[in-house]
Amino acid sequence: MKNKSIPELDKLFLEIGTYRKSNELKELFEFVKKFPHIAPYNAMLIHIQKPGSQYVATAAEWEKKFNRNINPGARPLVILRLFGPVSFVFELSDTFGKAPFPEELINPFKVKGQVANVVFNRLINNLKSDGILYSEVDHGTSSAGFIQISSSQREGKILRSKKEIWVKILYEMVVNRTHPQETRFATILHELAHVYCGHLGTPNPKWWGDRRHLDKNEREFEAESVCWLVCERRGLKNPSAEYLNGYLKDNKEIPNISIDTVLKSVAIIESMLKSNKEPRKEIVKRINEIKQEKNVQLSLNFNIT
């Protein structure tokens, strides 16, 4: 990893040694997966401030959603706020109330384990917004998929409202059609992680960094970490766990990865699972208005004499 412009989180990793040992990183990842209702970066901030937290929310959310109040003198936890500096949240133990706390919030993955079709299809439809062309092919069981930089001048079509948007294809992703949907989902996450972690370089430094200098071991560890976190935060089990356990079980030093990049990549992918992603303006080639065809009904009047 280059020492130039190192994010603060990675300074903890490199200079102080926090999360350097595999058990520490595993504890962080397990903690982040417990909070699918907040951004992964904020979950990490909570872990640094108060390890062992079960559930967090703002004072207003505790009162409105759960009919609970904040204990006098409770210490707030600081997280980042969208379009603002910071926000303050409180952990479950810092609240009081008569109503029992819902078990599904403490254990959010109890009844999960499948990828809904709408979520899977939304992810597929959002790929072209970053110039990624997705296709499925029939491969052998041991072949999951791959992603590569596109060498062609192909364009892809995105439908948004009443517009037909054509974008430049930057990457080509191929996934094994014969695998179950959950397996294909995990494969897509892994390959997307290679893109957003900068393992294939970057079309634009403002999107993500160029990190082609990482060796294969470091790249795969980051990609599997992203895949594991996204799946676990949705209650899905996937092969990434076995891969990571090979590193994390003996408390040895992990590869020289960027935790900051991993968490940011998780956030990008999770946003693609929730709503439509607007195509990046730098890759838009042309936009066509979709004309609505009007149904014209002809009335024929017959006069019978």
> Is 71 inside any structural domain?
no
> Is 28 inside any structural domain?
yes
In this prediction the pTM is 0.76
> Is 252 inside any structural domain?
yes
**Torsions phi, psi of 120, nearest 5?**
-60, -45
* Cα angle 155, 161, 163; round to 5: 45
> Is 262 inside any structural domain?
yes
> Is 150 inside any structural domain?
yes
Q: Collapsing DSSP states into helix, strand and coil, what is residue 158? A: strand
Residue 289 CA, chain-centre distance (Å), reads: 31
The whole-angstrom separation of Cα 144 and Cα 208 is 25
> Is 199 inside any structural domain?
yes
Give the pLDDT score at 162: 83
Give the pLDDT score at 3: 46
Give the pLDDT score at 305: 39
Total domains present in the chain? 1
> Is 183 inside any structural domain?
yes
Give the pLDDT score at 239: 67
- Which residues of the chain fall short of a pLDDT of 50? 1-3, 16, 111, 294-305
> Is 140 inside any structural domain?
yes
Structural domain that includes position 149 = 8-37+111-289
